[in-house]
Structure formats: structure tokens, C-alpha cells
Amino acid sequence: MNLSLLDPFAVAKEYPESLTQSLAYGHSLVIQFSHKGDYLALGLADGSIVIYDLVCNGGIITHLYRNGHLRPITSLSWSRCGRYLLSTSQDWTIKLWDLSMVNQGDDIDPVIRTVTFDGPVWSAVLHPKNPFLFVASLFEDSAAVVDMTDDIKISRLSAHPKGQEDSKDKHLTLTSVFTPDEEGSYIFAGTSKGWINIFDLSTLNKVHSVKVANANIKNVVISPNGRKLAVNASDRIIRQINLSDFINTAPEEWEFEVEHKYQDVVNRLQWNTVAFNHNGDFLCASTFGQLSQDLYVWETSLGSLIKILEGSSEELVDLKWNYPRCIIGSTGLDSGTIYLWLVPFPQKWSALAPDFVEIEENIEYEEKEDEFDIIDDDLLNKKRLQEEDLQVDVLLKELVDARGFTIQEAFVIPVDYRRKYGA
């Protein structure tokens, strides 16, 4: 509700512009914003997870380390409802945390599922609807879809392109994501040979394969509205692909035409991580190497670079976009500090004195005809009472906020009121 009282030009900004905050708590490797944008989870190099409350730039709500990971965290994924958090680590395990059980005392263990593999885990993503289903990409191993609803059921996804299942080439899945539709109908998996394999979640069959690059695919990102795909490969190019309507057309008919290629032709930079904004109109990427310490933001319809986010003094690795709050967060490689870019709102001094207005330039004041007329009190009262006759609805709530996001009820992590400060 505050947004509707703030400067509309600032509210309408579609990407953040200024580095306003850095969070330093241990050495963070990966970050993830909750879907409502109210929490930020950090995965630390010591295997623990820290959750910040972003409302009012609040403090650390919880630090998850008991029964946690023993080696650095490699990825984090929130459930849509905000209650569950999935973490993957180099210690070969994936853990699902029930955040309603944190801060309740030492005898309650918030880790409700642990899945152990035969090697380190690159990353894992929770299904959009079912917080007990995820897809994981594994080091030197084929990707896995894991259903943890009752017992743990692991299904493997082969990395060979469709129709080449018998080839002798070694294909490895390096990254995998669900499509962002309600059902998470398909899985997009990027391989070490530049292929994208698409699996139907209901049957786990490979329905389509397409070669997009001649190098490792490091990230596959689908915009939250499902329209655009960005593929970050180690050949220093980010390819932006328009996606077909994957709900209403058959997988065989899908086309993968590269719409734009983003590369830095001068410095020949590799890209660490890419992320879309909520409607896929903007794409942001962090750059590899000590030369550059910036984030690049492109406009995706024309493919032009529109902003370089500067201010950090180290190479940036992980990169996430907080849609409802319009924040870009990124982790520093050397110090593990989190940098947050956001839209600053100007202070309006006229808000303090309602009879003052801020004007750009002097205006000639024209006195209204009746401005200094003396009006009888009774008349005034009558007029006021008439004005008060209008219908008022004190119950109906707004469904979307000023930025156009649906206002959703989200899970609130319990607060440990007994915690001693400074400890």
C-alpha cells in the first residue's frame, strides 16, 4: 500500500539502479529470494544457511546449521508458499527444511528430508507446486527427479540427446529447471555438449532435444512468464530464445530460434549467472573474471545493453532478481558479501506539511474566485454531511499491488523471542 503513496515514477521503474546495501555474514556462495520477496536465504561456504527478513531491512531470522550440511552450499530453492527450503551441497546431500519448525528450540529438527547421492550436487530446483518434488543436477552423474512425498523415489534423466541414446559420447547434465507454469509440466536440462533436453514431468520421457551451443551449458533460465529462455554457455555467449507455447502445442512442434546473442566482444568475458525479470523484458548477468565487477542489464526485445550495475569491489557470482520488491542481489567471490541493488525512493518533504507542494519551477498563482469568501458554518456543515453520504467499503481488499503483483498471503517464519542479543 505504501507504493501507491510513493513517487509513481520510482514505482514504475522496472529494474533497480543503485547499490544501497551489502550484507556480510560469513562467506555466502549462493542466494535465493523467497517468491513473495520477503526473505533472502544465503548458502554459506561452511554449509550453513542464513535467512534474512527483508521487511524493513530486518535482521537474521534464523541460522540453519544444526543437522545441516558439512560442505559448501551449492544452491537453494524456495517453495512457492515460502514454508519449505531445499538446499544442495558439495557434501553429496540435498536437504529439505520445514521453516515452520525453526526457532522452536534445540529438540525440534527442521530437516524433514535428506537425499544422499554418490557425489557433489550442482543444483536442485523445487517443483512450482509440489514442495516434495525436485530435479537435481549432479556432478559426473545423470540428473535426477526426486519425489520425497512419502519415501524417497529417485528417477534418473539421461543426458544423451533424443535419438542418440546409444552414442558413445559422454553427455552430462549440468543444469536443470522446471517450466514455470502451474504444473511445472516440463524439465529443461542443459548438457556439457551444448544440448538442451526437455522431459515431460508426468512420464519422464525425453520429448525434445535441441543443440544450442558447442560448449558447456552453465545456466538455463526460463523467464517467470514462460515466454523466454536464456542459455548461458561457456563459449562466452548468452543466447536468448523465444519459447513456443509449451502448454498448447506438442513438443515435436517446438521451435528454438535464437532471438538475441549477448556477448562482450571487447573483453571476451564469460558470464557467471543470468536472471530474467518477472516479465522477461530484462535480462541481467554477472561477469566472470577479476577484470570486471559489474552486472549487465539488457532489454530483451531489442537486445540492447541498458545498464551496468556497478559498485561492488569484487567479482560477482550468483545473481538473483527479487520481482515484487524490484531488487537484484549478487554474491561477491572474494569476500562472500551480498550486494543488493534497488530502486531508491526520494523523500518528499511536502509530505510533512500538507499545505506545501514541491514544484519544479515557479508558477504564477491564480486566486480562485471564491478562495477567500466567508461561508456560513451551517452551510459548510451541510455540505460536508452531503459529501459523507457516499458508499464506503471497508472490507474489500486490493488484489494487486501498485507494481501489478498479486498480493499473496505468505508463510511467516517463527521468531525466536528468547534469543539473547549479541550471541
**Residues found near other proteins in the complex (CB under 8 A):** 1-6, 38, 53, 55-61, 345, 347-348, 351-355, 380, 383-384, 387-388, 390-398, 407, 412, 414-419, 421-422
Cα–Cα distances in angstroms (integers) from residue 298 to residues 275, 280, 291, 316, 394, in the given order: 11, 10, 20, 17, 43
| Cβ 80 to other proteins shortest distance, Å | 18
CB of 398 to other proteins, least distance (A): 7
Burial bucket for residue 251 (CB in 10 Å: 0-12, 13-18, 19+): middle
Q: What are the residues whose beta carbons fall under 8 Å from the beta carbon of 259, sequence distance 6 or more? A: 228, 240, 241, 242, 300, 303
Instruction: Decide whether 150 or 393 has the Cβ nearer to other proteins.
Output: 393
Positive or negative, the Cα torsion across 187, 41, 322, 335? negative
Chain centroid to Cα 276, Å, comes to 8
Closest approach of other proteins to the CB of residue 406, in Å: 13
Query: What's the rounded Cα separation, in Å, for the pair 343 and 17?
Result: 6
Residue number, 290 or 347, with CB nearest to other proteins: 347
Residue closer to other proteins, measured from CB, 289 or 346: 346
CA 302-279-17 angle, 5° bins: 75
Q: How far is the CB of 382 from other proteins (least distance, A)?
A: 11
Q: Shortest CA distance to 295 belongs to which of 267, 268, 326, 271? A: 271
CA–CA distance, 411 with 82 (Å, rounded to integer): 5
Other beta carbons within 10 angstroms of residue 273's beta carbon come to 22
Measured from the CB atom, is 117 or 411 closer to other proteins?
411
Q: Toward other proteins, which CB reaches closer, 57 or 164?
A: 57
State which amino acid sits at residue 170.
K
How many whole angstroms separate alpha carbon 177 and alpha carbon 345? 35
Can you tell me the distance from the alpha carbon of 214 to that of 148, in angstroms, rounded to the nearest whole number?
35
Closer to other proteins at the Cβ: 306 or 407? 407
Q: Least distance from C-beta 418 to other proteins, angstroms?
A: 6
* Residue 358 beta carbon to other proteins: minimum distance, rounded to whole angstroms: 13
- Of the CA atoms within 13 Å of residue 237, those in its CB half-sphere come to 13
Considering beta carbons, is residue 153 or 419 the nearer one to other proteins?
419
Which residue's CB is nearer to other proteins, number 268 or number 348?
348
Min CB(345)–other proteins separation in Å: 6
* Shortest CB 348 distance to other proteins, Å: 7
Within 10 Å of residue 369's Cβ, how many Cβ atoms?
Answer: 7
* Of 290 and 421, CB closest to other proteins: 421
Which residue number, 4 or 18, has a Cβ lying nearer to other proteins? 4
**Which residue type does 7 have?**
D
d(CA 16, CA 18): 6
Q: Tell me the C-alpha to C-alpha distance, in Å, between residue 383 and each of 115, 237, 393.
A: 71, 68, 22
Cβ of residue 417: shortest distance to other proteins, in angstroms?
A: 5
Shortest Cβ distance from residue 1 to other proteins (Å)? 5
Tell the smallest beta-carbon distance from residue 401 to other proteins (Å).
8
Of 138 and 343, CB closest to other proteins: 343
Neighbours of 297 (CB within 10 A): 22
CB within 8 Å of 51: residues ≥ 6 apart: 39, 40, 41, 42, 60, 61, 62, 63, 64, 85, 99, 413
